Every structure is written in C-alpha cells, then in structure tokens.
Amino acid sequence: DHEIEFPRLAPLDSSIDERQLVDSVTAREFFDVHISPGTHVNIIACQGGVTDVRLGDEVMGLGPALLCSGASSIISTLWCIDDKHGVRFEKDFFDSFLLQCAKKRKKKDAVNATNPNQLGKDDSAVPAKFKNNGAVRLVNLAKAMQAAAKEMDEGESAPLYRWAGYVLHGCWQFTMSEEDAISLQ
C-alpha cells in the first residue's frame, strides 16, 4: 500500500525508538477523504506520484486515490526529492501561479475598461460560485510547473534529479473565482 510518512522528532531525553515516531497516511485512507471538487493538491513527498498497476488493471497510488476522492489535479514526485529542492519547486511553482493570476487581472481590467459590455459573456457553463460579474480565472498549472522546472534547471545545467521528478496528474487548468485570486495577491 502506498503511504506518506511524517517523521516526528524524539525528545532529547527520550529513549523512544525513532520508528515509533512516524505518522503515516496511506492511499487507502485517501479514498475515504472527501475533497471539494476542483481542488488542486501538491504532494511534494518522496515518490508520491509512483503508482502500481494491479491485477485487473487497477491503478493504485496516492495520486489516483486523491483523484477518486475529488481532487481535479495533483502535482507529485516520481522519486526521492531533497527537502531543499522540494521547497524550491513549491516556491517557484506558486510564484508562477500568482504571476498568472496577476497578469490575467491586468488583462481583464484593460478589457473591461475598453469594453464594459463584454462582462459576463460566454460563461454559461461556469458554476455560479466562480462568477463575479463574469470574472473567472483559469490558471495553467502545466505552465506554472514548467516555469518552476525551468527556474530550477539553472540555465540547463542542473542535474535532472533536482527538477525533473515532478509530474502533474489530472486537469491542467485550475478554475479560480475573482475573489480567490484577489485574496492571493
């Protein structure tokens, strides 16, 4: 069974076996978790994106479990990632994510200033909670991931193990309401 382990530090004056200080969550447990539809999840954990194909062609792993529980997309890793590289990826990924939000806001503001009659057009398929005077944002997760990998590659000279182990499962477009995008700024 796939699992993520969360090691805890033993008190300095403790004689507790360090193996007892590990909390874990398994893919099987993720099947019982309800995740709001449209949620994006980053699992920057060693081999969090590895899956097994079992008898009957059933794909098992943390990613498929999260998708079955309601997540629309997941970024995970294919091999063990150093903590410092995982932190760097997350920072670069979310920097790109926020940059897309800011660019889309500037572009939307410019369009609305020149043509206010376009507000709310062609958004009939968008759920009501994502509408705010027709303002809906689609963030391209694949572009954010690519930007993070390029940033980590440092001029195409960094070793592959630092930046190439990250994968995106599910939908590459992340829908955000205008209100959520503003709150991230």
Task: Give the tens place of pLDDT for each residue, 47-102.
Answer: 665 655 555 555 567 888 888 889 999 998 888 888 899 999 999 999 999 999 88
Helix (H), strand (E) at residue 173: strand 173-177
Q: What pTM did the predictor assign?
A: 0.68
Give domain limits for the chain: 1-80, 83-160+172-185
Helices (H), the chain: 27-30, 62-68, 83-114, 141-153, 160-163, 178-184
In eight-state DSSP terms, residue 20 is G
Q: Which residues pair with 42 in a beta bridge?
A: 75
pLDDT at res. 120: 47
How far is 96 from 15, CA to CA, in rounded Å?
A: 45
> How is residue 90 written in tokens?
């997350």
In eight-state DSSP terms, residue 142 is H
In eight-state DSSP terms, residue 116 is G
